[in-house]
Structure 1
């Protein structure tokens, strides 16, 4: 079998400004709470003209029987087929700066060959930085600012970060493995994971999409302001959640508890030099911080 990564990828066109453009990438099929990452893709493709510049051979990458593409039947014939595609598009931001977007279903097969093909494109087009984005469910309330976890191949690429994880193991997925492999090979890559309240993870959560767009600007220097429709959708969803909270004492109690936890963590983080420095605490430091938290709660109960 030919293992040449270029057998997985075809370059469709090469505009002059494709070289040196940052790459954004998003794969459908893994975790994306609140459809935050999909919202970014939809916004970019709706807001900016996009030119296909490369495609991947999905016949070698996709298990059609595990996620069957839709076929449309009309009266007496098959009239349409929505074929899966993994494409790279060239777009230009508000100031005409070029950037690339790789989007499509997460490959089922040949993960390492696919990564080799992406790395070949990165080298061929001299891409300076690659950026992934997604939503992750978190025990946070919708009434507080949308949080973000930034991870990268070099500490210098991490920004605006307040770590909430020390170490966690999750199921393997292409976006994470691609970031890992790019970092191993010395290429610059940034991952953006926006925090979506776990009780709305199945809904579209535009506030998380807006937060990701802002973070992509920070990671790349692009200008990608959200439009009025996206902001209005965010306000509408927020009002719908508020209505549900007001109609259920049980839901209101959950939100109140999350607000208390969020505020306690934020206060502790603001007062803790190790979190201000952006480093994760050791096990002993976590234990001491937890003991202080419990002691503070006991003091508050006695005062009440």
Structure 2
């Protein structure tokens, strides 16, 4: 029987915390607009933090499926960018300590990893686990982004917005498994799935990260520095609007999405956010146009 504690190494100076929130996101699963990656990356860039625990990535990752980048210089190898899956401790804008867990999603030993996280949750006296990511939806960027909340118990869901999903089966993720397994053990765990316009799902969309972190603040009371992220969101929105104004096809498509979204929000009889009778470019076609625009911007 493997000991889950063998999967991680706890720092010698691991802090004694009082009911901290553990905010987590793993790279590798669906994350439309890079909502989760941008959100946690922003916090790690803006807040002072230090590592309190690291996981054994040699056991958890399949290097052949996502090979680390190595640097070759003239006649020798000089560097290897080793992946890191770690837990950090930081303080929010009010000085409240909390934990961040980020890194690549494990490829193997999911159940043992969940037990290892549970052991860390007990050791660090975590009060609540929170995750966020983006999901592609047929919604226009000109409307407020929606959020689907999910939690280990209904009392944790504090918004009035009803879910747009019924009972569905989807490919699993480690983030979802943690909520399921630790919730079954009595730990509070919840997540926020930000509704990202499907035509922007492959691009970085900071507005989705802003929406996600604002939801985390409402759900946990943690306060984050947001100015830089909001400015990035503003710039991205301006660039998107420039592209739309330059294309009558995009303008028509976005207008159609707005009409469908408004009808859905008003309670029109429609099962989903896509009208079947309106001829419009697909999400892939819209995304391709935006990707061409973003590539041209990068070249400039």
Mapping for residues 92-171 of structure 1, pairs under 5 Å: 92-160=91-159, 161-171=161-171
Q: Which residue of 2 aligns with 1:53?
A: 52
Partner of 2:67: 68
Please tell me whether the aligned partners of residues 190 and 219 of structure 1 are also in contact (alpha carbons under 8 angstroms): no
Q: By how many angstroms is 1:247 displaced?
A: 2.1
Q: Cα deviation per residue 1:237-280 (whole Å; 9 max; x = unaligned)?
A: 112211222222222222112111111121118xxxxxxxxxxx
Which structure has greater helix proportion? 1
Instruction: For 2:10 and 2:94, locate their aligned partners in 1 and report how far apart those are by CA, in whole Å.
Output: 26
Q: Structure 1 regions of 5+ residues with no counterpart? A: 270-288, 292-296, 298-304
After superposition, the Cα gap between the structure-2 partners of 1:15 and 1:7, relative to the gap in structure 1 and judged at 3 Å, is closer
Whether contact under 8 Å (2:264, 2:270) holds in the other structure is: no
For 1:261, the equivalent position in structure 2 comes to 260
Query: Which position in structure 1 is the counterpart of 2:291?
Result: none
Are residues 225 and 209 of structure 1, via their aligned partners in 2, closer, same or farther at CA, if it must alter by over 3 Å?
same
Partner SS for 2:266: helix
**2:224 equivalent in structure 1:** 224
* Contact 1:13/1:52, CA 8 A, preserved across alignment: no
Please give the alpha-carbon distance, in whole angstroms, between the structure 2 residues aligned to 1:14 and 1:149: 37
> What root-mean-square deviation, in Å, do the aligned CA atoms of Structure 1 and Structure 2 show?
1.7
| Residue 182 (structure 2) aligns with | 182
2:22 corresponds to which residue? 23
SS at 1:101 equivalent: strand
Per-residue deviation at 1:13? 3.6
Give the Å deviation of 1:218.
Answer: 1.4
1:191 aligned partner: 191
User: Higher Cα Rg: structure 1 or 2?
Assistant: 1
Gaps of 5+ in 2: 272-276, 278-300
Change (3 A) 1:85 1:179: same
For 2:292, the equivalent position in structure 1 comes to none
Cα distance in 2 for partners of 1:16, 1:66 equals: 35
Asked if structure 2 preserves the Cα contact closer than 8 Å seen for 1:206 and 1:233, the reply is yes
Q: Which residue of 2 aligns with 1:302?
A: none
Between stretches 244-253 and 213-222, larger displacement belongs to 244-253
How many equivalent pairs are there? Answer: 271
Q: 1:244 is matched with which residue?
A: 243
**Deviation, structure 1 residue 181:** 1.1
Separation in structure 1 between the aligned mates of residue 111 and residue 201 of structure 2, nearest angstrom: 30
SS at 2:267's partner residue? helix
5 Å-filtered alignment, 1:32-51, equals 32-51=31-50
- Structure 2 residue aligned with 1:172: 172
CA shift for structure 1 position 15: 4.4
Contact 1:214 1:225 in 2 (8 A): no
TM-score after normalising by structure 2: 0.86
1:73 counterpart SS class: strand
Q: Deviations over 1:67-89 (max 9, x none)?
A: 00001112222221110111000
Distance 1:9 1:16, change over 3 A: closer
Deviation at 1:19? 4.3
Find the aligned partners of 2:32 and 2:55 in 1 and give their Cα distance.
26
| Secondary structure, aligned partner of 2:257 | helix
The C-alpha deviation readout for 1:198-241, integer Å capped at 9, x for no partner, is 001111111111111111111211111312x3222211211221
